[in-house]
Amino acid sequence: MATLSVSVCLITLFLCFARGSVAKQEEDGTYELRKGDFSVKFTKWGASIVSVVLPDKHGKLADVVLGFDSAKEYKNDSTYFGAIVGRVANRIAGAQFTLNGTLYKLVPNEHNNMLHGGPKGFSKVAWRVSKYEKGGHSPCIRFRYHSIDGEMAGFPGDLIATVTYMLVDDYQLIITMKAKALNKATPVNLANHAYWNLGGHNSGDILSNHIQIFGSHITPVDKELIPTGKIVPVKGTPFDFLKPGTIGSKINKLPNGYDINYVLDETAPNKVRLAATVHHKKSGRMMELYTNAPGLQFYTSNGLKDVKGKGGFVYQVHAALCLETQGFPDSVNHPNFPSQIVIPGKPYRHSMLFKFSIRA
């Protein structure tokens, strides 16, 4: 049934690419998709998710992602709230890599390393809305950005990137990220950086949430969160969520919280499969995440402190969790990791499917 459901979603997504309407944003600078009492808002800045509104087990609606009240606040956001990050998500050691015999030196923005595409990554620019179907059976919006050679902190080649968001069936959100290299080989690793709190963005920390991650291994990191190159099993460690457990049950065994890449268990290469589930018992909200990506960054918003968000609510550490499906961090410097190099004629595609439901 899961395979059939994903296939139907992909067919519906094709229809969004095939038709569109003139994009008209709301008065607050956002774009909204709505399907019944399920609604999602976006801004062109970083092609970011601004809100996701869902009912709980009593039918009460709540916004379950952290963010800001107005679109303009995303322009200078340093938290990456809801953004598409890239060209290369996560970290690149020493802000450099060698490709086809050429050493590319990038602009660091975290110590001597690069994080999420550097100081002018995809999260820092205004994307163009190229398709917008606000309502109907499968509301969708597509953002497009043309990154020129060397523009983004030194990455090679021209790259056209698109991200399409679509609401399908009951309480399902598809995110499809594509990229096409026009004239040079270049690394591409796009990720969505939504901060989720299924109790509501202003409900406090996420430590009581139950999580299950379908990854038997992780890529361990050094003190600067750069992968060592090893791939190690999670069994018997605080990273073991192969069976559902509360986030808070093991977090105190770590210095700051979770910020680690899981190697997702594969049924077949590049096939969409279940990566993680999250359950908030008090509200009954359940989230399932499916992806075709090889990795999943689990992050418990360890760096949040006194961030003023929606409605004036102040977000603190562990106020949300991020589930960023991705290629492995720093893969450009680890030949044993799955390659994230995209060449002309062979486009990049990364899919995410969020299924929301109610569970007692």
Residues with catalytic roles: 193, 324
The token duo for 95 is 């802000």
C-alpha distances in Å from residue 55, one per residue of 64, 290, 355: 10, 21, 13
Give the chain's largest Cα–Cα span: 60
Cα–Cα distance measured from residue 309 to residue 69, given in angstroms and rounded to the nearest whole number: 7
Residue 256, SS3 per DSSP: coil
Q: CA dist 167 to 43, 162, 214, Å?
A: 16, 17, 24
Q: Which two tokens stand for residue 197?
A: 């709190």
Asked whether 137 and 214 are in contact (CB, 8 A), the reply is no
Indicate the length of the chain as a whole number.
Answer: 360
Return phi, psi of residue 139, to 5°: -60, 140
Both tokens assigned to 92: 């690149």
Within a 10 A sphere around the Cβ of 127, how many other Cβ atoms?
Answer: 22
Walk across the sheet containing 128-133 and list its strands: 128-133, 140-147, 159-168, 172-181, 348-358, 285-291, 273-279, 210-213, 245-246
| Pure H helices in the chain | 2-18
Q: What is the DSSP string of 113-141?
A: BEETT-TTSGGGSBPEEEEEE-SSSS-EE
**Residue found by looking up tokens 């690069």 in the block:** 114
How many C-alpha atoms does 123 have within 13 Å on its Cβ side?
28
